[in-house]
Structure 1
Amino acid sequence: MEKKILLVDDQADIRDIMKLYLNNSGFEVLEAADGQEALDILDQEQISLMVLDIMMPRVDGFQLIRKLGKDRSFPIIFLSARTKVEDKILGLNLGGDDYMEKPFDPSELVARVMAVLRRWPQGQTENCQIKNGNLTLDRENRYIYKDGERLDLTVKEYLLLKKFIEKPGKVFTKQEIYEDIWEEPYIYADNTIMVHISKLREKIEVDPKNPKIIKTIRGIGYTMERY
Structure 2
Amino acid sequence: MNEKILVVDDNDEIRNIVTLYLKNSNFEIYEASTGREALDFLRKNNISLMILDIMMPELDGIEVLKSIGNDRDYPIIFLSARSSVKDKIEGLYLGADDYLAKPFDPGELVARVIALLRRNNRKLDNNIVKIGNLSWDKYKRLIYKDENLLNLRSKEYELLTMFMTTPGKVFTKQEIYENLWQEYYFEDDNTIMVHISNLREKIEDNPKSPTKIITIRGLGYMLRKE
TM-score (normalised: structure 1):
0.59
Q: How does 1:66-85 map to 2 (within 5 A)?
A: 66-85=66-85
Aligned residues: 155
Maintained 8 Å contact 2:135/2:147:
no
Question: Secondary structure of the equivalent of 1:46?
Answer: coil
* CA pair 12-139 structure 1, distance change in 2 beyond 3 A: farther
Secondary structure at the aligned position of 1:43 is classed as: helix
Aligned alpha-carbon RMSD (Å) = 3.3
Q: Which residue of 2 aligns with 1:19?
A: 19
Letter in 2 for 1:92: L
Mapped contact 1:78–1:98 kept (Cα < 8 A): yes
Q: How does 1:20-169 map to 2 (within 5 A)?
A: 20-120=20-120, 128=127, 136-140=135-139, 146-149=144-147, 167=154
Distance 1:125 1:107 in 2: 27
- Once the two structures are TM-superposed, the CA of residue 146 in structure 1 deviates from its matched residue by 3.6
Greater relative contact order structure (CA < 8 Å, 6+ sep): 1
Larger Rg: 2
1:138–1:13 CA distance, 2 compared to 1 (3 A) = same
**TM-score w.r.t. length of structure 2:** 0.59
User: Which amino acid is 2:41 matched to?
Assistant: I
Q: Which runs of 5+ in 1 are unaligned?
A: 152-160, 171-227
2:145 is aligned with what amino acid? Answer: D
Instruction: Say if 1:124 and 1:26 are closer, same or farther in 2 by CA, change over 3 A.
Output: closer
CA deviation map 1:176-214 (0-9, x unaligned): xxxxxxxxxxxxxxxxxxxxxxxxxxxxxxxxxxxxxxx
How far off is 1:79 after superposition?
Answer: 1.2
- Cα–Cα, structure 1 residues 144 and 12, in superposed 2: closer, same or farther, change >3 Å? farther
Quote the sequence identity (%). 52
Q: Determine the structure 1 residue equivalent to 2:199.
A: none
What SS is found at the alignment partner of 1:66?
helix
The aligned amino acid for 2:118 is R
